[in-house]
Amino acid sequence: MRSHDAGTLRAEHAGQTVTLAGWVARRRDHGGVIFIDLRDASGIAQVVFREGEMAQAAHRLRAEYCVRVAGTVAMRPEGNENREIATGTIEVTADLLEVLSESAPLPFPLDEHLQVGEEIRLRHRYLDLRRPGQAATMRMRSEANRIARAVLDDEGFVEVETPTLTRSTPEGARDFLVPARLQPGSWYALPQSPQLFKQLLMVAGMERYYQIARCYRDEDFRADRQPEFTQLDIEMSFVDQDDVIGMGERIVAALWSELAGYEIASPIPRLSYADAMGRYGTDKPDLRLSLELAELTVYFSDTPFRVFQAPYVGSVVMPGGAHQPRRQLDAWQEWAKQRGAKGLAYVLVGEDGTLSGPVARNIADGEREGLAKAAGAEPGDCIFFAAGEAGEARRLLGAAREEIGRSCGLIDESAWSFVWIVDAPLFELAEYSGDISMGAGRWTALHHPFTSPTPDWVEHFESDPGAALAYAYDIVCNGNEIGGGSIRIHRADVQQCVFAVLGISEEDAREKFGFLLDALDYGPPPHGGIAFGWDRICMLLAGADSLRDVIAFPKTGGGYDPLTGAPAPITAAQRAEAGVDAAKPRGKPE
């Protein structure tokens, strides 16, 4: 059908007869001579139609007509080269034009110079993806898949597909449910991740598994969250934490090297969860920003200021913030209130070092003296404080830190920063998490109930659950969690003990994931793994602002697909057949 790809034509093709096929990206009709930018997957080439029959035929071409053109490659007349495009030195003089199919007037311009709303683009995503930028993103994602597969293949991994119609797994998010026609009243769940299956594959002796796996979670969506998303899922036998982290680094390094032209310094630094929370107020710190929180609990241990008589007092400095107008300081209060805080206390450090602001008047003379130094502030800075329960206060300061970074332009947007967060707690107090499905104990698993304690804790974690550390790791890039995993429990006694701490009875455990416990009875190998948030990684590599840009057919915030119109009502017949309304479920009722 065609002899060449349009985007590959160069000066060396001059004089050759070629046949191209593609779309009319743009036309410039001068009457006697007509220029067409012909676009195919490889790029764009200019086609020229001159006088007479050819010009006549080309007059009727419109945007996005699908055409086939035969002609001769010629050097452009001197001075008419276009340096903007790769084929800019040549053009194709057409002597044959075949319209393969016509296009209706477009619902939105495909011109990359213009901004178009997202909803209309998603409704006609097949047009949106014709835009070279969008198309390049799709191809880049394909490359990312290829690179990851190459690294894993090279290291002896086996790609295995796991079910998408399965049983609800213990992962905390809400499941998407599918009625089982053959067992009315019983339901499949779509997997939130292949977590349990990959562990079964380790018991099965695969030793090294991976999968580019679709996962489903029925929660509210965000710019960086979709109801269905993709993980690069990996599990390995006979490994410890360093082995999995090393494997993860090789994949990430290959991706960034090939797709971003960035060589990640190895090894990627590690930060303990406790340090991350203490110094940055988050478990996914953006280390492009060097700003750190200061802990002032001890400094204010005898303070007369009521607000600072709290289990934790901390601060973060806004460089140059002393010069903010009052209005802006008020805006910070609003900002904090929107995050559920009472406000954001502040002290302004004058150029002469004197402190001002409401807080400065309430603290003791002695406290004023060394405060700037203790908080790490310079003259002209603003110090923000948070006091209260450590977790909440740090979270507020961490968010403030990032807001300061953004608003003060302290973040180098072209930089990449990677860090592993390790030594997270194994358990957290259940009071805040509304996790009803996973046991009735005071404690809930921070990762999931199959995460092993670290070697230091594995023999006595139950004696101090709040302090026990998990053999788990998250990798963070520029403040985004792009992957995480853990070493799993492979000893039945340890697993029983974890369930006991979580308040999960043996009966409950049997009911929910007896199949995994059964499997662990048959000589399970020590194993662990990691899962990468594939959409998020592609988003970062593509420099996109939204996951929707790196997903071929994404959904909107309401879980709606503007293209297909899903979800959609079903007919009464479908409803009856699916067994959605079955009165008496078989098997054990909830």
Min dist CB 194 to RNA, Å, is: 10
**Which of residues 2, 16, 35, 378 is near RNA by CB under 7 A?**
35
Applying CB under 7 A, which part among 158-166, 334-342, 535-543, 568-576 lies near RNA?
A: 334-342
Inter-residue contact 44 to 84 (CB < 8 Å): no
**Which of residues 338, 414, 463, 571 is near RNA by CB under 7 A?**
338
Within 440-459, which residues bind RNA (CB under 7 A)?
A: 444-448
Handedness of CA 439, 441, 447, 451 (dihedral sign): negative
CB closer to RNA out of 111 and 243: 111
Report the 3 state secondary structure along 437-479: CCCCCCEEECCCCCECECCCCCCCHHHCCCCCEECEEEEEECC
Min dist CB 49 to RNA, Å, is: 10
Beta bridge partners of 215: 229
Within 257-316, which residues bind RNA (CB under 7 A)?
A: none
Give whole-number Cα distances, 91 to 1, 66, 94, in Å. Answer: 20, 19, 9
List of residues 6+ apart from 348 with CB closer than 8 A: 321, 322, 355, 356, 357, 360, 382, 383
CB closer to RNA out of 88 and 357: 88
> Where are any strands of DSSP class E within 243-349?
270-272, 294-295, 312-318, 345-349
Inter-residue contact 170 to 438 (CB < 8 Å): yes
Among 471, 427, 473, 466, smallest CA distance to 452 is for: 471
**Which of residues 5, 95, 118, 378 is near RNA by CB under 7 A?**
118
**Which of residues 339, 342, 361, 491 is near RNA by CB under 7 A?**
339
Min dist CB 413 to RNA, Å, is: 16
Among 260, 303, 183, 561, smallest CA distance to 415 is for: 260
Min dist CB 542 to RNA, Å, is: 15
List of residues 6+ apart from 83 with CB closer than 8 A: none
CA distance 102 to 108: 17
Min dist CB 394 to RNA, Å, is: 12
> Where are any strands of DSSP class E within 198-351?
208-216, 228-237, 270-272, 294-295, 312-318, 345-349
- The 197-226 site mask, x for binding RNA (CB under 7 A), equals --------------------x-xx-xx-x-
CB closer to RNA out of 107 and 320: 107
How many residues comprise the chain? 590
Min dist CB 25 to RNA, Å, is: 8
# residues near RNA by CB under 7 A: 72
**Which of residues 43, 88, 132, 185 is near RNA by CB under 7 A?**
88
**Which of residues 1, 12, 15, 31 is near RNA by CB under 7 A?**
31
CB closer to RNA out of 40 and 367: 40
- The 135-174 site mask, x for binding RNA (CB under 7 A), equals ------------------------------------xxx-
Handedness of CA 432, 433, 437, 438 (dihedral sign): negative
Inter-residue contact 208 to 530 (CB < 8 Å): no
Interface with RNA, residue 432, by CB under 7 A = yes
CA distance 310 to 341: 14
Within 470-489, which residues bind RNA (CB under 7 A)?
A: 484
- The 241-260 site mask, x for binding RNA (CB under 7 A), equals --------------------
Within 497-536, which residues bind RNA (CB under 7 A)?
A: 531
Interface with RNA, residue 32, by CB under 7 A = yes
Interface with RNA, residue 558, by CB under 7 A = yes
**Which of residues 95, 108, 178, 519 is near RNA by CB under 7 A?**
108
**Which of residues 56, 80, 505, 564 is near RNA by CB under 7 A?**
80
ω into 358 cis (within 30 of 0): no
CB closer to RNA out of 394 and 548: 548
Pairing of β 527-533 and β 480-487:
antiparallel
Inter-residue contact 106 to 127 (CB < 8 Å): yes
CB closer to RNA out of 308 and 450: 450
Min dist CB 269 to RNA, Å, is: 22
Min dist CB 392 to RNA, Å, is: 9
Give the H or E element holding residue 427: strand 427-429
Min dist CB 219 to RNA, Å, is: 4
CA distance 540 to 417: 12
Min dist CB 270 to RNA, Å, is: 19
Give the H or E element holding residue 37: strand 33-40
Inter-residue contact 74 to 92 (CB < 8 Å): yes
Min dist CB 294 to RNA, Å, is: 22
Inter-residue contact 346 to 362 (CB < 8 Å): no
CB closer to RNA out of 141 and 548: 548
CB closer to RNA out of 208 and 217: 217
Interface with RNA, residue 102, by CB under 7 A = no
Inter-residue contact 22 to 40 (CB < 8 Å): yes
Min dist CB 485 to RNA, Å, is: 8
CB closer to RNA out of 210 and 256: 210
Min dist CB 101 to RNA, Å, is: 15
Report the side by side order of strands in the sheet with 228-237: 158-159, 208-216, 228-237, 527-533, 480-487, 472-477, 418-422, 270-272
**Which of residues 192, 230, 237, 495 is near RNA by CB under 7 A?**
192
